[in-house]
């Protein structure tokens, strides 16, 4: 089971160091699960340094598909590897909605990261309008179809309507979506749930048979909250 914290555009290097020192102190409590933090690009190096020698992984929030070139504002997989970064998120709904990323972009980013030896958390999920129109399975089928399943790929199901809204898919809804995603790939792929996961609902969500962990947003910014979610995972 994997619990990954997506910090979005929060925590510079100083805050990151403080958080990681405390998380490192609690590592022994997380036996039996995988834990990762995903800081902004400017804070990756300090997270790698502080968490060196632990089993807590550090991943980026995005990665470009080219190794180098005239791509202002982007960061490549080899650059992340040189920093000591473990993996990258691709296709987060905020990247799709706010920055116009398409399924093709997500596929290219995922492929480049995997080819470079990084692990990938590829995000998929429907909007509220798509769910209400009965299009959830069509959306998931389309988004998953561009991904190539392999050992280092993890899929994160994040219903867009539940991200940062306080709304959460019910455990039954999450289970149904996760089971459907797993039916779309030939090779078994872990599927995380992402969408207003917090300490109060983590245990019930993580107890579902096809929920293999969580991609945690706002609740991962507080070390007490994030640690509580990790502890819930150890009991699932």
Q: Nearest 5 degrees, angle CA 227-CA 210-CA 126?
A: 90
Residues in the chain predicted with pLDDT less than 70, given as ranges, are none
- pLDDT of 64: 98
- pLDDT of 218: 94
Q: How far apart are CA 151 and CA 124, in angstroms?
A: 18
Phi, psi (deg, nearest 5) at residue 125: 160, 155
Please provide the DSSP assignment of 25-55 as one string.
HTGGGGTTSEEEEE--GGGHHHHHHHHTTSS
- pLDDT of 232: 95
Q: In a 3-state reduction of DSSP, which class is residue 195?
A: coil
Domains of the chain: 2-234 (3.20.20.70)
Positions marked catalytic:
92, 158
For residue 112 the two structure tokens come to: 């480049």
Using only C-alpha atoms, the chain has a radius of gyration, in whole angstroms, of 16
Query: Which of 109, 106, 149 lies closest to 125, judged by CA?
Result: 106
- pLDDT of 29: 95
- pLDDT of 19: 98
Rounded to whole angstroms, what are the CA distances from 102 to 92, 96, 117, 142, 164? Answer: 11, 6, 23, 11, 21
- pLDDT of 160: 87
Q: How many residues does the chain have?
A: 236
pTM of the entire predicted model: 0.95
């Amino acid at each position: 089971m994997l619990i990954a914290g997506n910090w979005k555009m929060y925590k510079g290097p100083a805050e990151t160091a403080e958080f990681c020192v405390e998380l490192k102190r609690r590592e022994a409590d997380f036996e039996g699960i995988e834990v990762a933090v995903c800081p902004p690009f400017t804070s990756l190096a300090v997270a790698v340094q502080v968490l060196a020698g632990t089993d807590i992984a550090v991943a980026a929030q995005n990665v470009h598909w080219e190794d180098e070139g005239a791509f202002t504002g982007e960061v490549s997989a080899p650059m992340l590897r040189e920093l000591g970064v473990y993996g990258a998120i691709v296709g987060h709904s905020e990247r799709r909605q706010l920055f116009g990323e398409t399924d093709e972009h997500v596929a290219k980013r995922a492929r480049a990261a995997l080819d470079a030896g990084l692990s990938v958390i590829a995000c998929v999920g429907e909007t509220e309008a798509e769910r209400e129109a009965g299009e959830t399975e069509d959306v998931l089928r389309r988004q998953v179809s561009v991904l190539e399943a392999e050992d280092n790929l993890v899929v994160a199901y994040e219903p867009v309507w539940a991200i940062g809204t306080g709304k959460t898919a019910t455990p039954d809804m999450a289970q149904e979506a996760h089971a459907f995603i797993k039916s779309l790939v030939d090779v078994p792929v872990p599927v995380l749930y992402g969408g207003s996961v917090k300490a109060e609902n983590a245990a019930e969500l993580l107890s579902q048979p096809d929920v293999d962990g969580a991609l945690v947003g706002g609740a991962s910014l507080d070390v007490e909250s994030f640690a509580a979610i990790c502890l819930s995972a150890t009991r699932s």
